[in-house]
Amino acid sequence: MADLTVNEALDDAPLSRFHTRAIFVAGMGFFTDAYDLFIIGTATTLIAKQWGLSSAETGLINSITLLSAFFGALILGRLSDVLGRKRTYGLEAGLMVVGALASAFAPSLIWLLVFRFILGIGVGGDYPMSAVLMTEYANVRSRGRLVGLVFSMQALGTVAGYVVALALLSAGVNHDLAWRLMLGLGAVPAAAVIYLRRRMPESPRYKARVIGDATSAARDLRAFSGGVVDAAGTPEPTLSLRLREFLSNPKYLVYLLGTAGSWFVFDYAYYGNSVSAPLIVKSVLGKSGAHVLTEAIALQLIVFSVAAVPGYYLASFFMDRIGHKRLQLIGFVFMGLAFLLIGVVPNVTHEVVPFLVLFGVSYFFAEFGPNLTTFVLSGEVYPTSARSTGHGLSSGIAKFGAFLGVFIFPIVKAHVGVSGALVFASGMAALGVLVTLVLPEPARRSLDDVTGELKLAEAAQEYLKRASNSRHEVASQD
């Protein structure tokens, strides 16, 4: 094995404790992202009542973090490719710590929006970081499973948010203190991310393929894996795409349509429903009173735990066998059908059990499909020097879709009801099917094979060689 390059050694590496370690380190960031993004839906039901907010102001609090995540994903995603993965490890986590703690002490609506905006920059930056970290440590056979397990930390982060909210409300904690604790506790896992990621080396693939230091990359890989993955440190073709070159490449533009487009339409539907889930369940229950919020959160936790959590893990363990692209198509189809049935079947939104069953089906196929696969695919189809850029563009555009969904959903619900809002969400799922079709199938293929990176690197080196020879010929004639 010692005669393999860094990329070949990683592609062929057997699953081991080193992969588990990488999953945990990368996944802690995503646990934090999920907690911070989904806890706000519960917190704002308390904030709105305390501060007397309108539905538009409530929607803005719910969605402002998603808007800033758009900028965070784009900016920090690109910085990760330019400056290196390791240099951005702590930056995005530090922003999450500051944003979460400051939000807990917000004295007014304006300050809460400012602090949640700062938090969103860090959250957005962590999307490409969490995905790219694991993608570049994964082997070929199990890449979908490994990256999917990182994303599945979203399930644990979301459940943690529901549990924290239920614990605080059931204990009778004053509502002003309760929402502040809900938001402030997001700083705890973010601080753990800073500590864990400082102990990780620079991505070996990035170091060998972009920086051109294969010897150091092999040494770091050997140390981090405890000797399980051993590479020779053989020099590899290097490629460093400038942003203009990346965005002018026809193949990568098509891939961007597929990854960013499918993620955008999914996040519009998913975040609009998930963040507003307590409001949706409350409207279906048709009750009022302080205890109803606790009941709605408890029902939502049950639905999420029974339907969504298994979807995350089943998708992670079977996606390499089914196919990453194919699983995304399956998920979009059945998620859209569930939304459509809720919208068109008479009285479903007035009957608790049928509604929760269909809502649960939509949750299952969201996780056993595009919620997980959009994250995975966006890290697989772009070359190393633009992998974080491509993922950042995709996740950033997706978070803009999420911003629209969360901000618009309560307004749409007020005008056309839950049924009308979910019919529109089913249309977004259908659009997701169409844009997914332009993507390749990366399952069980090497990153070099999917991206065509080696061919690009060899073509670039040949161009430079010819240009150098031409200059020498001109100089000799002079």
Is 239 among the domain residues? no
* CA 340 remoteness from chain centre: 25
- Greater model confidence, 470 or 155: 155
φ, ψ at 231 (rounded to 5°)? -120, 155
Reference 391, options 12, 116, 30; nearest CA is 30
3-state class (DSSP) for residue 13: coil
In sequence order, what DSSP letters do the residues of 311-326 get, joined into one string? HHHHHHHHHHHH-HHH
What's the start-to-end Cα distance of the chain, in Å? 50
Q: Retrieve residue 459's tokens.
A: 């073509």
- Of 124-128, 144-148, 192-196, 350-354, the poorest mean pLDDT is in 350-354
Is 451 among the domain residues? no
Q: Over range 389-409, report the average pLDDT.
A: 89
pLDDT band at residue 464 under the 50/70/90 scheme: low
Q: Write out pLDDT tens, residues 275-314.
A: 445 555 555 555 555 556 677 677 777 878 888 899 999 9
Instruction: For residue 209, give the DSSP letter.
Output: I
Q: Retrieve residue 439's tokens.
A: 């993507």
Q: Is the pLDDT confidence value at 410 over 80?
A: no
Q: Is the pLDDT confidence value at 94 over 80?
A: yes
Q: Write the CATH number for 404.
A: 1.20.1250.20
Q: Retrieve residue 105's tokens.
A: 């002490």
Q: Over range 411-420, report the average pLDDT.
A: 72
- Of 74-78, 133-137, 357-361, 437-441, the poorest mean pLDDT is in 357-361
- Of 11-20, 286-295, 419-428, 441-450, the poorest mean pLDDT is in 286-295
Q: Is the pLDDT confidence value at 22 over 80?
A: yes
Q: Retrieve residue 194's tokens.
A: 């800073």
Residue with token string 């951005």: 88
Is 56 among the domain residues? yes
Question: What is the per-residue pLDDT for 369?
Answer: 96
Question: What is the per-residue pLDDT for 250?
Answer: 94
Q: Write out pLDDT tens, residues 222-271.
A: 998 988 899 988 988 888 899 999 999 999 999 999 999 999 999 988 87
Is 147 among the domain residues? yes
Kindly give, in sequence order, each residue whose CB lies less than 8 Å from that of residue 329, ignoring residues fewer than 6 positions away: 369, 433, 436, 437
Is 302 among the domain residues? yes
Question: What is the per-residue pLDDT for 355?
Answer: 77
Which class for 245: exposed (0-12), middle (13-18), buried (19 or more C-beta within 10 A)? middle
Strands (E), 225-327: none
Reference 69, options 401, 410, 409; nearest CA is 401
Is 199 among the domain residues? yes
- Structurally, the chain folds into a number of domains equal to 1
In sequence order, what DSSP letters do the residues of 87-118 get, joined into one string? HHHHHHHHHHHHHHHHHHT--SHHHHHHHHHH
Share of the chain above pLDDT 70, in %: 89
423 in Cβ contact with 343 (< 8 Å): yes
pTM confidence score = 0.88
- Greater model confidence, 452 or 296: 452
Is 346 among the domain residues? yes
Is 101 among the domain residues? yes
Q: Over range 364-376, report the average pLDDT.
A: 96
pLDDT band at residue 455 under the 50/70/90 scheme: confident
Q: How many helices (H) and strands (E) does the chain have?
A: 22, 0
Q: Is the pLDDT confidence value at 1 over 50?
A: no
Domain region containing 82: 6-232+249-445
Other beta carbons within 10 Å of 356? 18
